[in-house]
Structure 1
Amino acid sequence: MNYIIIDSGTSSTKAFLFNSDGVVLHSQKIKHALFRPKQYHVESDALVILETCKSLFEKMVIASGDMEVHSSGLAIQRSTFLFWEKESCTPVTPALSWQDSRAYAIVEEFSTHSDKLWQITGTPLSAHFGGPKFLHMIRENPQLKKRIKNGELYFGPLSAFLSQAMTGTAGVEESIACRSLLYDIHRGDWSDFALNLFGVSPQYLPPLVPVKYDFGYMLDSKIPLAVVIGDQQAALIGQAGLKLGSIATNFGTSGSVQFNAGQNPTIVNGLISSVFYSDENIKYFMVEGTINACNSLFYHLEEELGIPHDKMEWDYRASKTETDGIFIPGFNGLAAPYWRPGFNDVYIDLDKRSDKEEIVRAGMESIGFLVSDILECLEPIMSSKPSLLTAAGGGSRSPLLQFIADLTGISVGHSTMKDRTAYGIFRLLNPTYQSDSSKSVDQIFSPIPSQKINEKKLKWRNAIQDNIKL
């Protein structure tokens, strides 16, 4: 018995064919483009991503041969939103990436409502999320406003568009619905307050469904789509299943620190509270701190500093360099725990003309500082300080992990597990499978305390206070 998993991220989509023992029999990856037509505008073509998903699914079916495929699942980037036609499932707008912050003026306009929204939805008022994107787009496009009022269109996350396009079933599952800024995390339904604030009628949104749900058959197959979930939720499940109190970090295009908070929603200042997993019988919640700029930070610095992509090697540069400078990445805005839309990068005691190596090092350190800030926000709800923080993803490289260990006083383990997002979905599709391989680490970075790093941490906090409107 086999299982097909599709993991669609920011710049590529991957597909996996698992057997019932958790072994990946076949996998393939296809890249897709992001477009930046204006400052703070970041978008993709949802049809291209759909066709990529279809192609990869069909390749996995072929790879399975005569072996039956039991079911399939999708893990999707979470804060990418678009409008599409209800009947034809045709996109009528680009998909506004999670990196897109064009709706920053909406955030400023509604700032007096931010605390109430956060308490209801568990999510901060930010231009990266659904409600502000909806209102910005219909204000900019009267025809779009007319069509959605006439009941012709859906607005929702990329996951809901893809699942409807591939199964015919309209539905937005709860782990990604939390990124809409419209979902009441306490009631498990759309929030009347948030809907009214952003001018959204429930008929504009696909129906809410659990993470594990019968979406119907994929494409022309007899293979059911049984799970749709946010990529970071799937990544934590891949590492630790549904274990209460589990914590992990992931560093890819963006980054995150994820904590399984159990069966009751918990609102933590500075962080996002979301549905972690749900089915018809049970619901778990997570608290998460997201970091907008991880690998994307180094792509940005390639352009800023004139470093060719094949020459960046940021981990090598950072490992050979020390700096007293501070770099605050503003090109995508700051997420947890500060929540500020896009602004000009901040350079302190750094010179772009002569300090390229130090700027790369300071950029890497900015990721570590944000991880430390997020962990401090989590302290009140953790029963004890973690003894080991596991790190996964392509950005989990030695100098960053050592810096995080030194900064936080927590040992950091590099996960040997590849594609833990896909593995997380496999565990949901095949819950009888048991393995400890997901906990494996191949290297542990132990903290090296120093007065210098404490002084650097204070300098970071002062830089945030002095340069970012809090």
Structure 2
Amino acid sequence: MTALLAIDQGTTSSRAIVFDRLGRKQAMAQRELPQHFPQPGHVEHDADRIWDDTLACVREALQKSGLDAKAVAGIGITNQRETTVIWERATGRPIHRAIVWQDRRTSAFCQQHQDRSAWLNARTGLLLDPYFSATKIAWLLDQVPGARARAEKGELAFGTIDSWLLWKLTGGAVHATDATNASRTALFNLRTQDWDDELLDFFQVPRALLPTVLDSAADFGSTDAALFGAPIRIGGIAGDQQAATVGQACFAPGMIKSTYGTGCFMVLNTGDELRLSKNRLLSTVAYRLNGRPTYALEGSIFVAGAAVQWLRDAMHLIKAAGDTESLAKSIEDTQGVYLVPAFTGLGAPYWDPEARGAIFGLTRDTGIAHIVRAALESVCYQTNDLLQAMAQDAVAPTELRVDGGMVVNDWLTQCLADVLQIPVVRPQTVETTALGAAFLAGLQSGVYDSLDDIAKLWQADRRFTPAMARDRAERLYAGWRNAVTRVRSVQATVNLGDAMHLSG
């Protein structure tokens, strides 16, 4: 059997999955990742824990599959994006916990320099926001004693999680990333496809700190032979949402997918056209092959599955994520209850780091089921926020391909179709993020000759069509928009109003 192995390192867990050539899952291992919240708005991970868990997962997945390292044609890595690690080149020790993409500690810097946002957007396709890696890097260099001087001497290395894992897998031999992850740092020029010296100067990030940028399917070296009994080629790297775009076979301009994990991320393929948004979406690299980038528009929602995790772990309203479906079905509607999960601010199209979560419409009749259903509905409403912006910037999608752990919930997936008023299609393999990484490794190793080979493997599991009257869907969505308005910070509301005025 020709096997491909995907490392899928996400915000809340680390996984390794073995696939066969047809994209069928053969074995999987997973470890939950602890979250650290040292202060309000701060989110951190233990980078060494991420490595230890990843190593354990790969070994366990290989053992479950009955394969040894020599049977694996290649490894693909996909990862939570923007999360920032800086480590010592000599020892491989991180100088601080990883700062997670959700972290908002650099909000003040971003607000102070909003006059540079248009300049940054023209180069990177991004906004000046704490979400991206650049301000996280600068914070680490300024706050960890001696870090800036050591970085300038070339003693330290920066990486998003893919780079960190690649360094560890190769025993420190390779310090690299791919174009998709580089495009999420706010240091990478989308047009030149290289680190941008003006951006490096603005954020005060030494070039010596940065990894080499390669294609998404490329020779990233081989694993240290001591790790798995024999070296395995590493042939693919892509950030999680771009990997899911590959796994969903969204290879033609206009195709769109949305992934539901910790957050929700919608990606629209725009082909070889770099299209800058007028509605506060992001422009990004969907994938880069043979030196040629394919671009995309992306909308990012910070809290989707994390809202369910909050219901379980913080509020103790449910015992397991699977309880949400039966609770949502147990009532006809939320009776006007809306939950806005702005726990770490709001992402696209609002980009309001100071917004905070709230529940509206509570009455004496409100029960657990209403709050749980409102949490699930918030995912659908946020998705509609993104879809509306996509339609204004590019095309109005005629169907949406979905994936991620949340869409195994049939009620939620039907709710998406009802709120969006377009068909929603779930693939047979919902592990599309990991599958996309495996596909990229397969391209590099020769398992697949082209993207067409991969597209032929994609198969639908179920198609959900709208069952709700359009006027009711519009009324419910109007209630959501009203609820969002009430959690917005004053300055962000002004900024969004200005942006909408300028774009109109």
Letter of the structure 1 residue corresponding to residue 220 of structure 2 = F
Secondary structure in 1 matching 2:425: strand
Which residue is 1:257 aligned to?
266
Which residue is 1:444 aligned to?
464
- Corresponding position: 1:365 with 2:365: no
Which residue is 2:161 aligned to?
158
Secondary structure in 2 matching 1:147: helix
Choose which of 356, 368, 374 in structure 1 pairs with 2:386.
374
* Aligned residues of 2:423 and 2:463 also touching (Cα < 8 A): no
Letter of the structure 2 residue corresponding to residue 263 of structure 1 = D
Letter of the structure 1 residue corresponding to residue 271 of structure 2 = G
1:467 to 1:53, Cα distance in 2 relative to 1, 3 A = closer
Moved more, 371-380 or 437-446: 437-446
Question: Offset at 1:140?
Answer: 2.5
Question: Offset at 1:328?
Answer: 1.7
Question: Offset at 1:30?
Answer: 2.3
Secondary structure in 1 matching 2:183: helix
Which residue is 1:189 aligned to?
194
Letter of the structure 2 residue corresponding to residue 82 of structure 1 = V
Which residue is 1:222 aligned to?
231
Question: Offset at 1:308?
Answer: 4.5
Mapped partners of 2:20, 2:366: distance in 1? 53
Mapped partners of 2:276, 2:183: distance in 1? 13
- Corresponding position: 1:411 with 2:388: no
Give the aligned CA root-mean-square deviation in angstroms. Answer: 2.4
TM-score computed with the length of structure 2 as normaliser? 0.86
- Corresponding position: 1:213 with 2:225: no
Choose which of 78, 88, 93 in structure 1 pairs with 2:91.
88
Mapped partners of 1:256, 1:435: distance in 2? 21
- Corresponding position: 1:298 with 2:298: no
Question: Offset at 1:277?
Answer: 1.1
Which residue is 1:454 aligned to?
474
Which residue is 1:29 aligned to?
30
Which residue is 1:388 aligned to?
399
Moved more, 263-272 or 53-62: 53-62
Question: Offset at 1:61?
Answer: 5.0
Mapped partners of 2:352, 2:69: distance in 1? 52
1:136 to 1:86, Cα distance in 2 relative to 1, 3 A = same
Question: Offset at 1:216?
Answer: 1.0
TM-score computed with the length of structure 1 as normaliser? 0.92
Secondary structure in 2 matching 1:338: coil
Mapped partners of 1:305, 1:350: distance in 2? 16
Alpha-carbon displacement from aligned partner over 1:291-338 (angstroms, at most 9, x marks no partner): 111111122234564425348822222233323133222212111111
* Aligned residues of 2:339 and 2:371 also touching (Cα < 8 A): yes
* Aligned residues of 1:390 and 1:415 also touching (Cα < 8 A): yes
Letter of the structure 1 residue corresponding to residue 100 of structure 2 = S
* Aligned residues of 2:272 and 2:293 also touching (Cα < 8 A): yes
Choose which of 223, 236, 258 in structure 1 pairs with 2:245.
236
Choose which of 103, 109, 113 in structure 2 pairs with 1:110.
113
Letter of the structure 2 residue corresponding to residue 365 of structure 1 = E
Which residue is 1:274 aligned to?
284
Question: Offset at 1:65?
Answer: 3.6
Aligned residues: 469
Letter of the structure 2 residue corresponding to residue 215 of structure 1 = F
Secondary structure in 2 matching 1:240: coil
1:447 to 1:70, Cα distance in 2 relative to 1, 3 A = same
Letter of the structure 2 residue corresponding to residue 206 of structure 1 = P
* Aligned residues of 1:331 and 1:342 also touching (Cα < 8 A): no
Mapped partners of 2:301, 2:129: distance in 1? 13
Secondary structure in 1 matching 2:184: helix
* Aligned residues of 2:188 and 2:194 also touching (Cα < 8 A): yes
* Aligned residues of 1:7 and 1:14 also touching (Cα < 8 A): yes
Question: Offset at 1:163?
Answer: 0.7
- Corresponding position: 1:330 with 2:333: no
Consecutive unaligned residues of structure 1, counting only runs of 5 or more, are: none
* Aligned residues of 2:318 and 2:324 also touching (Cα < 8 A): no
Letter of the structure 1 residue corresponding to residue 252 of structure 2 = K
Alpha-carbon displacement from aligned partner over 1:392-434 (angstroms, at most 9, x marks no partner): 2221223332332222221222333231122212322132345
Alpha-carbon displacement from aligned partner over 1:4-26 (angstroms, at most 9, x marks no partner): 22111112222122333433333
Question: Offset at 1:262?
Answer: 0.6
Which residue is 2:7 aligned to?
6
Mapped partners of 1:456, 1:93: distance in 2? 44
Letter of the structure 2 residue corresponding to residue 445 of structure 1 = T
Mapped partners of 2:109, 2:55: distance in 1? 35
Moved more, 4-13 or 137-146: 137-146
Question: Offset at 1:106?
Answer: 1.6
Mapped partners of 1:43, 1:170: distance in 2? 22
1:66 to 1:196, Cα distance in 2 relative to 1, 3 A = closer
Secondary structure in 2 matching 1:142: coil
Question: Offset at 1:247?
Answer: 0.9
Amino-acid identity (%): 26
1:377 to 1:66, Cα distance in 2 relative to 1, 3 A = closer
Which residue is 2:81 aligned to?
78
Question: Offset at 1:445?
Answer: 3.3
Alpha-carbon displacement from aligned partner over 1:169-204 (angstroms, at most 9, x marks no partner): 111211011121111112211223321221112112
Secondary structure in 1 matching 2:27: strand
1:218 to 1:111, Cα distance in 2 relative to 1, 3 A = same
* Aligned residues of 1:255 and 1:292 also touching (Cα < 8 A): yes
